[in-house]
Amino acid sequence: MKNALIVWGGWDGHEPKQCAEFFAPKLAERGFKVEISDTLEVFTDAAKLANLSLIVPIWTCGTMTPEQSKGVHDAVLAGVGLAGFHGGMCDAFRGNTDWMWMTGGQFVSHPDNIKDYTVNIVNKADPITAGISDFKVRSEQYYMLVDPRNEVLATATHQPVSAPWDAGVVMPFVWKKVHGQGRVFYSAMGHVLTEFKTYPQQLEITLRGMVWAAK
């Protein structure tokens, strides 16, 4: 059985506790033994991390100690998978360049806040997105700084009223990559828990990405 660790905390607006409790049984259904932690100190336990197949961070706008940062980074470099969504992974630790390098992107804005937009599947052959068509969502639409090495699976085109200079920008929205020996998956969707219950495509992509990333 694969071992997954969900680590939640940070800004409450992204409902980290609720999302952790929602995803734990979903991962269990896909063959994982799941542990949930609400402390980053777990990242200093090298023996625990080495025994994991997957780490799922759900932690927005936090800070890590150098020891915590090194612990999780070393684990992924050694082959432990990393998978997450929205601000819980790519707005987790602002200023931590090792984290940004590892995850492949960093949130910088969401022009117009909550809005309607379309998620466009650009890689229809990948097992994470196979059989899923473009779909509409209502949520924050992230504008991000991204790693050119990311293998982009889905995009979203910006047409912001509040930032018209960004109109037409096609933003990577779902991607996967390899960092060291570890697989990394990210989806910019998932502002609050309700979205995963409202958009089945979003939930399925996220779960498939987590399974793909797992060692």
pLDDT confidence tier of residue 207, bands split at 50, 70 and 90 = very high
Q: DSSP string covering the chain, please?
A: -EEEEEEEEE-GGG-HHHHHHHHHHHHHHTTEEEEEES-GGGGG-HHHHHT-SEEEEEEES----HHHHHHHHHHHHTT-EEEEETHHHHTSSTT-HHHHHHHSEEEEE-TTSEEEEEEEE--SSSTTTTT---EEEEEE--EEEE-TT-EEEEEEE---SS-GGGTT-EEEEEEEEEETTEEEEEES--SSHHHHHH-HHHHHHHHHHHHHH--
List pLDDT tens digits, range 105-123: 999 999 999 999 999 999 9
Mean pLDDT, the chain, rounded, equals: 98
pLDDT confidence tier of residue 143, bands split at 50, 70 and 90 = very high
CATH number for the domain whose boundaries are 2-106+145-154+172-213? 3.40.50.880
pLDDT confidence tier of residue 48, bands split at 50, 70 and 90 = very high
- Residue 147: its pLDDT value, please? 98
Per domain, the residue ranges of the chain are 2-106+145-154+172-213
- Residue 82: its pLDDT value, please? 99
